Amino acid sequence: MNDGTRLTSRDREYLRGIFVLRGNREPVGPSRLAHLLEVSRVAVLEKMRRLEAMGYGDYVHRRGLLLNEVGIDAVQEDVRRHHMMEKYLQDTFGMGSTEACRESSAMDPFVSENLMRNISTFLGSELSCECGCCIDDKYEPEDLYDCHWFKRQFGV
């Protein structure tokens, strides 16, 4: 169970990396994630233990971290927030998709839930972004392989 510790931006990046490696279905080992994120295996193992302690997954000895519903939901929320903010920047300020993606990435961790509710109300329902990700859908890892944000982060 989540111990109340807030996820950092780096924690969220690790969760997204685990997810894109299908960590919602099978444990993702530290070596695979280290390769994807271009960091050390030791750093990944420490982060996986932290994420497990915070209640976002279960570490399976000699196999890696398997995301639980809390971890999957955190990734789903990150994807939704990013695409919603990106769409808002495009619609409100006329930014192109690349610029809006870059700005959204910089802002995502700092945007309050209250502002996101207001943006959601402003944008209305049935939204999608230019990469085709529907903002309100649940995602599987392969759904995000065409997402420009995930491509930029992970080269998938």
- Write out pLDDT tens, residues 61-116: 999 999 999 999 999 999 888 988 998 999 899 999 889 989 998 998 788 989 99
Q: Are 16 and 153 in contact (CB under 8 A)?
A: yes
Domain that holds residue 17: 9-67
CA dist 153 to 14, 20, 37, 100, 122, Å? Answer: 11, 10, 9, 15, 28
Domains identified in the chain, total number: 2
- Answer yes or no: is 73 within a domain: no
DSSP string of the chain, one letter each residue: ---SPPPPHHHHHHHHHHHHTTTTTS-B-HHHHHHHHTS-HHHHHHHHHHHHHTTSEEEETTTEEEE-HHHHHHHHHHHHHHHHHHHHHHHHH---HHHHHHHHHHHGGG--HHHHHHHHHHH-SS-B-TT--BTTS---GGGGTT-HHHHHHH--
Q: How confident is the model at residue 126 (pLDDT cuts 50, 70, 90)?
A: low
- Answer yes or no: is 119 within a domain: yes
Q: Are residues 84 and 147 in the same domain?
A: yes
Q: Which residue has the tokens 């649940």?
A: 138
pTM, two decimals, is 0.87
Most confident of 28-42, 100-114, 126-140: 28-42
Most confident of 18-27, 94-103, 117-126: 18-27
The dihedrals phi and psi of 60, each to the nearest 5 degrees, come to -100, 120
- Answer yes or no: is 118 within a domain: yes
The predicted structure's pLDDT at residue 132: 64
- Answer yes or no: is 25 within a domain: yes
**Of 67, 93, 117, which residue sits at a domain end?**
67
Q: Are residues 84 and 145 in the same domain?
A: yes
The predicted structure's pLDDT at residue 123: 87
Q: Are residues 53 and 82 in the same domain?
A: no
pLDDT higher than threshold 50 for residue 1: no
